[in-house]
Amino acid sequence: MEAGSGAEPAVVLRPGGKLSVTVTTADGQPVPGAAMELIAADGSDVTAALLLQALAGGAARRETGSDGTLLLEQVPAGAYRIAATTEAVRSREGRIQVRPGLTTEVRLVLQRE
């Protein structure tokens, strides 16, 4: 497409939101190293795509830090299912809505069954 040709662009960029996740135990202790799963409404796992995008910017993490938190940026707006897992346990799945330009805060609790 040439500049000034009047043609519509083939790609439309939509602003994303941020997702701030805190993973704790049932008694409120932070869970470091918990891996995130973020599933879009259509069933696709968007976690890997977000990691690739973050790598292009120089920093990527899919697991919570020592304080049990993880911040994902530029998450496409929409509805998602989210869960956290460790080697031993998985959180209950939560449903969230990410909105453009806003930070969605989520707390996930890991419980042994």
Kindly state whether residue 26 falls inside one of the protein's structural domains.
yes
Indicate whether 76 belongs to any domain. Answer: yes
The verdict on residue 24 lying in a domain is yes
Residues of the domain holding 91: 16-110
Q: What is the pLDDT of residue 12?
A: 45
| pLDDT value at residue 9 | 47
Q: What is the CATH number of the domain that holds 57?
A: 2.60.40.1120
pLDDT at 99: 93
Which pTM value belongs to this model? 0.74
In a domain, 41, yes or no: yes
- Residue 2 placed within a domain: no
pLDDT at position 23? 94
Q: What does pLDDT average to in each consecutive run of 10 residues of the chain (113 residues)? A: 53 71 93 89 76 54 89 87 86 90 93 68
**DSSP secondary structure, the chain, as one string:** --TTS-PPPS-----EEEEEEEEEETTS-B-TTPEEEEEETTS-B-HHHHHHHHHHTT----B--TTSEEEEEEEESEEEEEEEE-SS-BBPPEEEEE-TT-EEEEEEEE---
Q: What is residue 28's predicted lDDT score, i.e. its pLDDT? A: 93
Residue 91 lies in a domain: yes
Count structural domains, the chain: 1
